């Protein structure tokens, strides 16, 4: 997989929607300087990820639309092109300079930035579930697949890769054996917990009882008075307490309901300064509604 920018550094050069282009292997070898180690930026579900630079004349992507490039949304990483030279199979995506959300979980991100990432990721998932035809089950929603631009605007990546099912012991699929749109909602709840707590979904460097984020968080989610113990200490209490208000959730929410809830939190952020003393009871929807909903009554959510 490759992430490439145009010669002027503006990626695909604007909002113009065009199909993915077929590159020769030689063109991509030149763009990445023969896949130099210095251009290796990570590894995704498809394979190693390199960055490269296209010449301006090669940055006009005007070929026929492929299935992957039919998915267009501000919160989905853009597929620029592909290469099928010989036995080579390469995908070319836009470059996201801040890397993945996973890279920043241990950093002191502000509450506003965390909510910005959450609502953007939710909107991307809403597009896949509600606006794509037919609906798309993302299957691999996790912080490593949420990429960030310079302003921490999130985009979902690896959404077009064919998979037999999600990987890991901390997914709705692993626990229920069923793969549905609600599998993605469970995974989104885990990502939201990561944003709130500043912890990774699985962290073997922590002690027993704290390695699995979902298991560690359950006792706190059962008692509203304990919600404050979930919040990342690096926030130093600088978040609106009303955002942690809780309402009983018997069923896993739909993604459009999650977007409405998070949009509400963002509007409260814009209306009220974030402070240690911010807080009020009685808010009907909140971030914890979504995370608790993603863990409640699995028997009714399949």
Q: Domains in the chain, please, with CATH?
A: 2-94 (3.30.200.20), 101-300 (1.10.510.10)
Nearest in space to 185 (alpha carbons), one of 267, 231, 122: 122
Per-residue pLDDT of 45-95, as tens digits, reads: 667 888 888 665 433 333 223 445 678 899 998 888 777 677 676 778 889
Q: What is the largest CA-CA distance in the chain?
A: 62
Confidence of residue 134 (pLDDT cuts 50, 70, 90): confident
Per-residue pLDDT of 153-204, as tens digits, reads: 999 987 554 333 343 444 444 455 566 788 889 999 999 999 999 999 999 9
Q: Tell me how far apart the terminal alpha carbons of the chain are, to the nearest angstrom.
A: 33
- Alpha-carbon span 80 to 72, nearest angstrom: 12
Q: What is the pLDDT of residue 105?
A: 94
Q: Is the pLDDT of residue 243 over 90?
A: no
Q: For 226-258, b where at least 16 C-beta lie within 10 A, e where not — what string? A: ebeebbbeebeebbbbbbbbbeebeebbebebb
Q: What is the pLDDT of residue 55?
A: 62
32 DSSP assignment: T
If you average pLDDT over each of 8-22, 96-110, 180-194, 278-292, which comes out highest? 96-110
Min mean pLDDT across 47-51, 109-113, 272-276, 289-293 is at 289-293
Point out the residues that are catalytic.
Answer: 140
* 266: Cβ contacts below 8 Å, ≥ 6 apart: 115, 116, 119
CB atoms within 10 A of CB 97: 13
C-beta separation of 174 from 166 below 8 A: yes
DSSP codes, 182-205: HHHHHHHHHHHHHHHH---SB-TT
Collapsing DSSP to helix, strand or coil, 135 comes out as coil
């Amino acid at each position: 997989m490759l992430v490439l920018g145009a010669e002027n550094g503006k990626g695909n050069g604007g909002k113009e929607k065009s199909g993915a282009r077929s590159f020769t292997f030689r063109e991509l070898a030149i763009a990445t300087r023969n896949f130099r180690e210095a251009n290796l930026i990570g590894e995704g579900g498809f394979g190693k990820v390199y960055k490269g630079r296209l010449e301006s004349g090669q940055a006009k992507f005007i070929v026929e639309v492929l299935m992957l490039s039919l998915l267009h949304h501000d919160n989905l990483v853009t597929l620029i092109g592909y290469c099928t030279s010989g036995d080579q199979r390469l995908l070319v995506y836009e470059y996201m300079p801040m890397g993945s959300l996973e890279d920043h979980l241990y950093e002191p991100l502000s509450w506003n930035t965390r909510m910005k990432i959450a609502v953007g990721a939710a909107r991307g998932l809403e597009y896949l579930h509600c606006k794509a035809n037919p609906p798309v089950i993302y299957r691999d929603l996790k912080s490593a697949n949420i990429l960030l631009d310079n302003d921490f605007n999130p985009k979902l990546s690896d959404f077009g890769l064919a998979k037999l099912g999600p990987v890991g012991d901390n997914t709705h699929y692993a626990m229920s054996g069923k793969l549905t749109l609600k599998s993605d909602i469970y995974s989104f709840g885990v990502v939201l917990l990561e944003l709130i707590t500043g912890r990774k979904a699985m962290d073997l460097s922590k002690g027993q009882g704290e390695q699995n984020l979902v298991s560690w968080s359950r006792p706190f989610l059962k008692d509203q008075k304990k919600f404050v113990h979930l919040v990342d200490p690096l926030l130093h209490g600088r978040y609106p307490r009303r955002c942690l208000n809780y309402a009983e959730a018997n069923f896993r929410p739909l993604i459009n309901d999650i977007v409405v809830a998070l949009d509400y939190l963002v509007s409260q952020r814009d209306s009220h300064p974030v402070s240690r003393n911010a807080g009020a009871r009685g808010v009907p929807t909140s971030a914890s509604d979504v995370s608790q909903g993603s863990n409640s009554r699995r028997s009714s959510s399949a």
